[in-house]
Amino acid sequence: MSWPVIVVTGANSGVGLGICQRLLVQLISKSPTDAQPHYNFHVQKSTTSDASFDGLTLILACRSRQRGEAARDKLYQFADEQVRHLEILPGYDGHAETFRKHLNIVVHTVDLSRIQTVFRFADEVIKTYPYVSHLICNAGVASFVSINWFLALKQFTMNWVEAVTAPIFYTQEVGQLSQDGLGWVWQCNVFGHYVLFRSLESHLAKYQMSNGARVIWMSSHESNPIYYDPTDWQLVKTAHSYESSKFQMDLIAHRLDQASLQDSDTLPTRHLIVLPGVAGTNIASALLDTFSSMCMFFAFYLARWLGSPYHLITGFKAAISAVHLCLVPLACLPTVSLTEFDDSDPTAKVEVGFRYVSECDRWGKERVGTMKLTRSKEHNNQCDDLLEHCDRLFTVFCEAEGRPLQS
């Protein structure tokens, strides 16, 4: 077997399901368009690499087996529809049927708020599959409990588009803990995925095809360092745990990518940061009734018509950046030379890399763009401390489970 083995967390709904659907559309085709380096940021506009595969193992990492199996059935039906569509086209070469024959969509349960299940999930994957080619860290939670209507009215009045792109009017629960006794949002969004990567790290390294394995970290337009207090790294005391967790994810992903690239002895496992844009998912559904949900979608479409490139609205369209980074040759992606931080001003920011962003035009035609990733010496120090905390906790959980530490 030489085709991809892709793990997607939170795959049964929202952007996670959209990523799975988009992967199927692309790989059922002999020439996947999302694999082509045709955007302005690409350093190469042509490639000899072949992104065509005769099969795929797609692992749906879900908390609920029932919802995961429902998503699996939906994806198989979706794949069959794509095959039927291609079969009737002139010049059809049979690739879609071959791919469908070798398509294996499987459900493995994992609850990122319980590290024991993360270990169990990783053990199942390592035992069952020869390698992992892609790990897409998509699952995420937010502890939204209410809407501050005064702040909402103020933000909508001052900047309508910003209000529906990076809202500041959601009230979030403070002090929420996981079953493991850690900050709930922090564990689900950051630490759970970190443990998952560490547990699968050696299996990712076994994928030696093309450019090596890739880990896709799903960030957010709400990622913001201004809310982050490094002394509250589990995000238990902050009223902005969601925004802070996405900032932490950016820090960790960039640092892991740097470390992997500097290890010249092995084919690097790349860590890439993605912003899916704005889509109508269930992350804030507990706060919305039918009418307010309709108003939300109307606001999204209005923002798009007012010029916002980030309101893709559907999970399938929002998935374009993640799927593009799964398939495009890595040699086509831009690189940033290492830049020295300003020792005289620890808050001075320098450009250190890119985040890849799902975008669209007013008509909803999707594309991929970039945002510069900037960091300061202060951020660098915060990342060092955060990874030290994560490594120490990882060791504690491994020892409690009697597991050997990953090198």
Instruction: Tell me how far apart the alpha carbons of residues 308 and 63 are, in angstroms, rounded to a whole number.
Output: 33
Give residue 236's Cα distance to chain centre.
23
Check 129, 178, 246, 377 and give the catalytic one. Answer: 246
Distances (CA, A) of 21 to 71, 96, 130, 320, 396: 10, 15, 24, 11, 37
Instruction: Tell me how far apart the alpha carbons of residues 303 and 187 are, in angstroms, rounded to a whole number.
Output: 32
Contact 51, 327 (CB under 8 A): yes
Report residue 316: phi and psi, to 5°: -65, -45
Report residue 51: phi and psi, to 5°: -95, 15
Q: Which residues pair with 27 in a beta bridge?
A: none
Check 129, 207, 242, 310 and give the catalytic one. Answer: 242
Check 143, 219, 223, 244 and give the catalytic one. Answer: 219
Q: Which two tokens stand for residue 151?
A: 């702040």
**Residue 211: closest CA among 44, 325, 130:** 325
Asked if 242 is an active-site residue, the reply is yes
Residue 171 DSSP SS3: strand
Asked if 170 is an active-site residue, the reply is no
The DSSP-derived string for 335-362 is --------TT-TT-EEEEEEEEEEEE-T
Catalytic (active-site) positions: 219, 242, 246
